[in-house]
Amino acid sequence: MTDLFMYADETGNPDYQDQPGSSTYFGVGTALFIGDHGTALGLYKQNAYLSVRRQGQVWLYKAAWYLHFKVISEQVTRPGDRLFVIVATLGTNKRRSLLEQALHDVCVIQGPVARRVVLCHWDSATSWGLQVADYGLWAVQRLLERGVSPFYSSIAPTLRSTFTPWGRPKGQ
């Protein structure tokens, strides 16, 4: 049995606004550490189906998590492993409750078979693993939205995939 620690963060805003200053993509990403490491995503929103948009922001958050987690968790774990999914503490109490339920549903209820998943909510200011996930997502978001990311080369050697299930804008 192996303990794996998946630090997760999101990038962009889970709204569908198409105006200056709005993010083009919403996504989730993770930084994975195996065993003791104490010393050591995106979804193109404008291509979302109308039925998806009608479900609202929490549904987009849950969909992004589902698409990411179902693939990554199966790739990095084996039956019997214990996967700690660490996410930052989220927003207001009402929003936090809705997002925590969405994460619980994706990670625990719909999670990988024969794996033990432990969902943790930590303060991002005190967890360097969450900061690593945030930095990586920031670099990928800039590359997807602007075509250039000055810090992308710093994360590229450890980046395993970038998945855009709803495509990208024409010309990219």
Count of structural domains within the chain: 1
Pair 69, 104: CB distance under 8 Å: no
In a domain, 37, yes or no: yes
Lookup: tokens for 83: 């996967």
Q: Tell if the pTM clears 0.85, that is, is over it.
A: no
In a domain, 165, yes or no: no
In a domain, 152, yes or no: yes
Task: Give me the pLDDT at residue 142, please.
Answer: 92
Q: Inform me whether the pLDDT recorded for 25 exceeds 80.
A: yes
Residue 33's CATH number = 3.30.420
Give the chain's mean pLDDT: 86
Q: Work out the pLDDT band at 91, boundaries 50, 70, 90.
A: low
Q: Work out the pLDDT band at 52, boundaries 50, 70, 90.
A: confident
In a domain, 167, yes or no: no
* Full residue range of the structural domain in which residue 79 is found: 3-158
The Cα 47–Cα 90 span in angstroms is: 26
More confident position, 91 or 140:
140
In a domain, 163, yes or no: no
In a domain, 90, yes or no: yes
Strand, coil or helix: what is 32?
A: strand
Task: Give percent of the chain above pLDDT 90.
Answer: 19
Minimum mean pLDDT range among 43-47, 48-52, 113-117: 113-117
DSSP characters over 94-149 = HHHHHHHHHHHIIIIISS-TT-EEEEEEE-GGG-HHHHHHHHHHHHHHHHHHHS--
